[in-house]
Structure 1
Amino acid sequence: MKYKVEITNIGPMANDLLTAGDMIIFEQCEMEALAEVCYMHTKGELKEPVAVGDRVKIGSKTYVVAAVGDEAQHTLKTLGHCTLKFIDNPEVELPGQINLKGDGLPEPVIGDIISIE
């Protein structure tokens, strides 16, 4: 297991961003600027770098990493922050983004586990 956290709070606009933009922003610390659109989670430790082909579980859904942005490792390790985009594309749009391929969007709820293996 490279990374594992539990969702503790869901910003009031987080599900809107997921539906409209096919993305989740998850955050460990409560950055006020992002809190409204984030899925907040417990503290986690990134034990190994995230790589293309890794599996990401969000609740009961599993996805495969298609791309990792240049800053994603750093922000995940130091801030517990990452943008997950549900798109099968080997190119990211943002440096802190991880693209995930799989079927459909997740429906995260408080208490769900986010893990990377």
Structure 2
Amino acid sequence: MTVIYQTTITRIGQSAPDALSDKMLITFREGAPADIEEYCFIHCHGELKGTLRPGNQLELDDICYPVTAVGDVAEQNLRELGHITLRFDGQTEAEFPGTVHVTGPVPEALQAGCTVKFVA
């Protein structure tokens, strides 16, 4: 498997963990506007070196999640803004253009220092 994107969470917005109860995880690169940062897991932006698509794997630390659907602008948002909305619901059609759906248990908590990877 080839790593096509890797980054590390550097800080967590005050309201970001609340989205986990809705089966969502929202990321944004460092330098996000303050009103957005509050709701995001902030990371040091990595370079996307491949295509984001169903069949890839998301890895949060050592837990793997199969990617089941990718919205039309999710790859562009990740590449340009480090922004992505992950949904832990296994849907096979993206709910929104910037959403990536995965299968697996919702993380109970993520800490600064957590590694986020997409592998193909």
TM-score category by the smaller chain? over 0.9
Q: Cα deviation per residue 1:78-115 (whole Å; 9 max; x = unaligned)?
A: 1111000001111121100000002x112211001000
Q: Which runs of 5+ in 2 are unaligned?
A: none
> Where do residues 68-83 of structure 1 align in structure 2 (5 Å cutoff)?
68-83=70-85
Aligned to 2:102: 100
Letter paired with 1:33: D
Q: 2:13 aligns with which of 3, 11, 14?
A: 11
Q: Distance in 2 between matches of 1:71 and 1:25?
A: 15
Q: 1:33 offset after TM fit, Å?
A: 2.5
The SS at the match of 2:113 is coil
1:58 aligns with 2:57: no
State TM-score, norm by structure 2. Answer: 0.91
Aligned to 1:40: 42
Identity rate, percent:
34
Letter paired with 1:61: I
Over the aligned positions, Cα root-mean-square deviation in angstroms equals 0.9
Aligned residues: 115
State TM-score, norm by structure 1. Answer: 0.94
The SS at the match of 2:7 is strand
Aligned to 1:112: 114
Q: Distance in 2 between matches of 1:54 and 1:31?
A: 29
Q: 1:48 offset after TM fit, Å?
A: 0.5
Q: Is the 8 A contact 1:69 1:92 kept in 2?
A: yes
